[in-house]
Structure 1
Amino acid sequence: MLHIQFPEPDFRFQGERGQEMIWDSIRRKWVRLTPEEWVRQNFVRYLTGGKGYPPSLIAIEKQIRLGELNKRYDIAVYHNTHPWLVIECKEPDVPINQKVLEQILRYNSRLTAAYLVLTNGHQHFGWQICEGRFKLLDALPDWPELV
């Protein structure tokens, strides 16, 4: 299991039509604050603040085509214009199980990232994929280690 300590939150909030909104600095827009969005925003802050990943290389909820279906991944970090890390976020009450793992593996069949992460904000699992083998991680590399 990954050991992740989210940074102290410093998010911007606003109410809109009776719904709480949170500012997404990556997408540069207000988005509805759902439990899954809370996890997603905290993980992005961890990547940029805790690990030094450049915000300009992070994509959130981009569409991909899987066979006949259009799907959206939660977070991807790009390196040399290719997805390097893909993160699947679930709301805190959703267990990280085989079904969630299969979901990110389907996404990665298209994206072919070297790192995969599953998180619900409480539990975080990560793998490095090298030559078709999955190595369970206890930490993600810091960005300067990559360049």
Structure 2
Amino acid sequence: MFTPIQLNLPPYPAKLTKENETVFIFDELRKKRLVLTPEEWVRQHWIHYLHQQKKYPKSLMKTEGSLKLNTLQKRSDLLIYNSLGKKIILAEFKAPNVKITQAVFEQIANYNTIHQIPLLLVSNGLEHFYCKISFDSHSYEFLKELPDYDVS
């Protein structure tokens, strides 16, 4: 059983429940209880942070978005859209004990060959990386901070 740990994100009042020996966390986006795993703990903190601190509307966030990579069916951890329905952020979350390595960046880069999203977020809850992609110049740059939601 996973015991929640303090992340490098603001704490929030997570709705945790226990049934037998299984702990559940309430997912505000899907409006249902999910088994509390280390990766889900990170994802739920990010959803709360993006909504409360960065002002991204929950209605524009989608978890577990399906995509087809070659012949494999994959799921992205979090997709964020703008008000026009265009994908603006692709996020990949790992458990706090999983190091953010080149392989993690390759995973999100592979997903992004399908999505073509300009901002990437990679986090294990302790370390966070933000990357801005320029498809025109085939380049990228790491950002110090993820931008706030732009309502324009």
Q: CA RMSD in A?
A: 1.4
Counterpart residue number, 1:53:
56
> Using the alignment, how far apart are the partners of 1:62 and 1:127 within structure 2?
20
CA deviation map 1:25-62 (0-9, x unaligned): 00111001001100001111110011000000000012
- Compute the TM-score of the two structures, normalised by the length of structure 1: 0.92
> Using the alignment, how far apart are the partners of 1:116 and 1:36 within structure 2?
17
Q: How far off is 1:83 after superposition?
A: 1.5
Identity %: 36
CA pair 134-35 structure 1, distance change in 2 beyond 3 A: same
Counterpart residue number, 1:36:
39
Range with bigger deviation, 127-136 or 69-78: 127-136
* Aligned 8 A contact 2:54 2:147 in 1: yes
Matched, 1:14 2:17: yes
Superposed structure 1 runs of 4+ greater than 2 Å apart: 4-8
- Compute the TM-score of the two structures, normalised by the length of structure 2: 0.89
Structure 1: give runs of 5+ residues left out of the alignment: none
Of 139, 143, 148, which aligns to 1:137?
Answer: 143
Give secondary structure in 1 for the equivalent of 2:52. helix
Report how many aligned residue pairs link the two structures. 143
> Using the alignment, how far apart are the partners of 1:146 and 1:74 within structure 2?
23
Of 83, 102, 106, which aligns to 2:106?
Answer: 102
Of 83, 89, 106, which aligns to 1:85?
Answer: 89
* Aligned 8 A contact 2:8 2:126 in 1: no
Q: How far off is 1:65 after superposition?
A: 0.8
Q: How far off is 1:146 after superposition?
A: 4.8
Amino acid paired to 2:92: E
CA pair 122-140 structure 1, distance change in 2 beyond 3 A: same
Q: How far off is 1:16 after superposition?
A: 2.7
Amino acid paired to 2:108: I
Q: How far off is 1:7 after superposition?
A: 2.5
Q: How far off is 1:15 after superposition?
A: 1.4
Give secondary structure in 2 for the equivalent of 1:39. helix
